[in-house]
Amino acid sequence: MKLIDAFRVDAKTRLSIVGAGGKTSSLIRLGCEWPGICIAAATAHIGKNQIKCFKNHKILHSNFIFEGYRLSESTLFTGPEGNDNRLNGIEPQFWNELYRISEENDVPIFIEADGSKMKPLKAPAAHEPPIPDWVNHVVVSVGISVLGKPLAQEFVHRPEIFSSLTGLEMGKPVTWHAIFKMLTHPQGGLKNIPRYARKSVLLNQIDSLSDNTGLPTFCHQVLSHYDSVIIAKLNNPSEQDDYSKINNEVICVEESIAGIILAAGNSSRMGQPKAFLNWKGEPFIRVCALQAISAGLDPVIIIAGQEYERIRNILQDIPVHVIHNPDWNEGQSSSIRTAINSIPKHAGGAIFQLVDQPHIPVALLRRLKYEHSRSLSPIVLPESIGRRANPVLFDRITFKSLSTIQGDVGGRVIFSQYPIKTIQWFDDSILIDVDTPDDYSRLLASQS
């Protein structure tokens, strides 16, 4: 996976990278990977040997003339040359001019907005980080090689501030918990992030981690405060001889994936509401909701129609959202549109489940999430004995298309618009859905 995909970069991206342990590496890769023209800038020192992937380099100084400036190729903007073969960062007085150029040319802008003196971890001082208010995505970088190292100047930039923010004593080993406290502190990782900006954590140097038992819990907890966690092993840009041949070094992207359970149909062929059929002593709807929760889907949203009140009563003791679709009799597309409007903006995607498939295993839901985190494929679905099956995971980039479908059709009508990633599933019972009494009998028989 490329970094521009992991960061979900498009022409409207106004990205600021702060923190330590991966900022410059990220800036270089973004400049290399973006297929068109982009703007990059550094507000802190950057090595002259690290900028060769950019086709154009402009030094901003007090006499620089922006009026009439034409952006014809990807350009890195820095301050004048400083000491030790390094270039100084740009001054805040130039921020709005760069933003204006990016808007006029409809190109993304990437800013390395923090200094860390080559340490893998840092805490911001009073004047840091310098993030323009027009930034719409902030990535906080952390070098995981710091885990287990003592909290000292050798490994952490501004260790005294880190200690005051996290409560970790000077000289004590840096832990997952301490990093979490720094990232989620309003004067730490969350400092100066514009209110409506997307927030991500970049966990770099993951190849230095010998024991990853704490990683899943860390990511889960961080996602309560950030929109995504990108796990990567970016090499030092100064060690790359050819920037066009950088390997894929992003391991995965962890994001919240919503669970959508469609339960608004009229069940005409079944003769009774399918949501209330019995499966191992529980109503279908309750089984599906508990499976989604067990799989880590968040939030879990049930789209209900004429049985809204009854469904809500059955689920009142579990953490789900029951949404009424007043247009349920117009067909499944109305429920999909209702679902899309209910999904939080920070969600990376959604798994759509059918209420008449209570037998779908939690392991399959987790597998869909896993495959999506490693590819960010627009559509991920299972396949058994050569047939596509449910449930289906739709990435957030498909939501606009899903919100426009009409009639008694499901999400499959947009399959032709996006690449599809299939996973093989060797239990063909996932092909069963319950539309008729005979289907219900077959489902019960398949599990006996």
Tokens 């130039």, residue located = 94
Q: How many residues does the chain have?
A: 448
What pLDDT is stored for residue 55 in this prediction?
78
Architecture label for domain 3-255: 3-Layer(aba) Sandwich (3.40)
Domain with CATH 3.90.550.10 in the chain: 257-446
pTM: 0.91
User: Cβ-count burial of 431 within 10 angstroms (0-12 exposed, 13-18 middle, 19+ buried)?
Assistant: middle
Compute CA distances 57 → 12, 39, 61, 71, 74, whole Å. 22, 10, 13, 11, 9
Q: Is the pLDDT of residue 122 over 80?
A: yes
pLDDT greater than 80 at residue 67: no
pLDDT tens-place string over residues 385-416? 999 999 999 999 999 999 999 988 889 999 99
Mean pLDDT of 220-229: 96
| Mean pLDDT of the region 234-251 | 65
For 112, 167, 224, 271, 442, the CA distances from 274, given in Å and listed in that order, are 54, 53, 34, 9, 15
Cα torsion at 272, 276, 279, 285 (round to 10°)? Answer: 130
In this prediction, residue 437 has a pLDDT band, given cuts at 50, 70 and 90, of confident
20 against 239, higher pLDDT: 20
Report the chain's mean pLDDT, rounded to a whole number.
91
Residues of the chain with CATH 3.40.50: 3-255
pLDDT at 243 over 70: no
CB 178 within 8 A of CB 164: no
Considering the domain 257-446, what is its CATH architecture?
Alpha-Beta Complex (3.90)
CA 111 – CA 132 distance, rounded (Å): 9
270: phi then psi, degrees, rounded to nearest 5: -80, -30
pLDDT > 70? residue 236: no
Query: What's the CA dihedral at 42, 156, 198, 421 to 10 degrees?
Result: 100
Residue 244 clears pLDDT 60, i.e. is over it: no
Record the tokens describing residue 238, joined without a space. 């100064």
Least confident of 77-86, 92-101, 227-236: 77-86
Q: What are the φ/ψ torsions at residue 220 (nearest 5 degrees)?
A: -60, -45
Q: Examine the pLDDT at 54 and tell me if it is beyond 90.
A: no
